[in-house]
């Protein structure tokens, strides 16, 4: 194309994107079935306790969680906010057109998450499967910070029952819908409780065989501005550790079977050493740190990025 043709084409794509609206997930029944089948078949690659897995396994849980694109991360614009800013949207589309792999809905979603915005992270269901298969000897799995449904998906893919706790109303409703779909598909127990991880009443007096979660990284991902959010209740990091993180660890310990494992996905946040602090608090609350795994970010089938997330494997001794 000459410059004029290129400019006209870019204008056409920009106007088409505005008419079509934000490219939220909208899977057909067949596509949803296919994305679920992918989770059941997908594997984690592991070498020397470094894990990697395809992000394609995220499609199923993400398809229930379109509001995830409106969450602010690290103080940046959310992908949805970026889309609403016409100047940013035009810049993103033009860059993706020149350097990306096309302008399908999935590519536009990815581009909005890469160029100027930050999308809230999804817990890859493959990692839930990996740890449940490795460390869960019973049937019941506790997830005190249910979040975007990645651990729910991975738990059911392992043939285990799931008990998740979630405070945010919109996410809670989305988890209920996901749970209903999975119960019909796999005939396993899914219980979603609208509650707080730091509140013992949320656990219903139950004892679980295994626990896995990824708690909020302090104020990194601001799921909503509701007062129930831990970063709103405890705006200072020290208060957040004592008011949210410690009670969460205490509650899981109390509701975990003797000898059971708790896999905790954490990451440092800016100057805050969340990984080390979590390990120290866990040990103070009688957990034994049994193992530490790292995740290598996945880019393509053959290309892996830097080490990022940490998984702490904690054990409640008999």
Q: List the chain pLDDT tens, one digit each, 318 residues.
A: 555 555 555 565 666 666 567 888 889 999 999 999 999 999 999 999 999 998 899 999 999 999 998 888 887 888 888 888 888 777 777 777 766 566 677 777 777 766 667 778 899 999 999 999 999 999 999 999 999 999 999 999 999 999 999 999 999 999 999 999 999 999 999 999 999 999 999 999 999 999 999 998 887 787 777 788 888 899 999 999 999 999 999 999 999 999 999 999 999 988 899 999 999 999 999 999 999 999 976 543 444 445 678 999 999 987
SS (H, E, C) the chain: CCHHHHHHHHHHHHHHHHHHCCCCCCCCHHHHHHHHHHHHHCCCEEECCEEECCHHHHHHHHCCCHHHHHCEECCCECHHHHHHCHHHHHHHHHHHHHHCCCCCHHHHHHHHHHCCECCCCCCCHHHHHHHHHHHCCCCEEEECCCCCCHHHHHHHHCCCEEEEECCCHHHHHHHHHHHHHHHHHHCCCEEEECCCCCCHHHHCCCCEEEEEECCCCCCCEECCCCCCCHHHHCCCHHHHHHHHHHHHHHHHHHCEEEEEEEEEEECCECCECHHHHHHHHHHHCCEEEEEEEEEEEECCCCCEEEEEEEEEEEEECC
**132 and 24: one domain?**
no
Q: Is 67 contained in some domain?
A: no
**149 and 289: one domain?**
yes
**215 and 306: one domain?**
yes
**92 and 21: one domain?**
yes
**305 and 226: one domain?**
yes
Q: Is 55 contained in some domain?
A: no
- Token pair, residue 28, equals 């057909």
State the total domains in the chain. Answer: 2
Q: Is 120 contained in some domain?
A: no
Instruction: Provide the domain limits for residue 93.
Output: 3-38+72-114
**103 and 198: one domain?**
no
**171 and 106: one domain?**
no
Final residue of a structural domain among 114, 145, 174: 114
């Amino acid at each position: 194309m000459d410059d004029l043709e290129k400019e006209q084409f870019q204008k056409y794509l920009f106007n088409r994107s505005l008419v079509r609206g934000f490219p939220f997930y909208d899977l057909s029944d067949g596509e949803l079935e296919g994305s679920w089948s992918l989770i059941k078949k997908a594997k984690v690659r592991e070498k020397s306790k470094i894990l990697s897995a395809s992000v394609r396994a995220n499609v199923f849980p993400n398809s229930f969680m379109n509001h995830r694109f409106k969450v602010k991360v690290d103080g940046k614009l959310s992908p949805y906010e970026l889309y609403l800013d016409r100047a940013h949207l035009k810049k993103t589309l033009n860059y993706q057109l020149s350097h990306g792999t096309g302008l399908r809905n999935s590519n536009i979603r990815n581009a909005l998450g890469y160029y100027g915005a930050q999308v809230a992270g999804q817990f890859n269901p493959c990692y839930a499967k990996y740890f449940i298969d490795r460390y869960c000897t019973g049937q019941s799995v506790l997830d005190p910070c249910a979040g975007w449904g990645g651990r729910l998906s991975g738990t059911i893919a392992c043939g285990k029952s799931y008990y998740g706790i979630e405070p945010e109303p919109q996410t809670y409703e989305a988890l209920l819908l996901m749970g209903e779909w999975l119960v019909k598909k796999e005939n396993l127990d899914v219980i979603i409780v609208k509650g707080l991880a730091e509140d013992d009443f949320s656990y219903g007096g139950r004892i679980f065989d295994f626990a896995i979660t990824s708690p909020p990284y302090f104020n990194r991902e601001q799921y909503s501005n509701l007062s129930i959010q831990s970063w709103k209740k405890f705006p200072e990091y020290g208060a957040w550790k004592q008011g949210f993180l410690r009670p969460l660890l205490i509650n899981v310990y109390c509701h975990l079977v003797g000898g059971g494992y708790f896999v905790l996905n954490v990451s440092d946040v800016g100057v805050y050493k969340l990984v080390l602090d979590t390990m120290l608090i866990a040990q103070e609350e009688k957990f034994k740190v049994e193992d530490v795994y790292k995740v290598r970010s996945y880019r393509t089938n053959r290309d892996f990025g830097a080490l990022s997330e940490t998984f702490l494997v904690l054990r409640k001794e008999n």
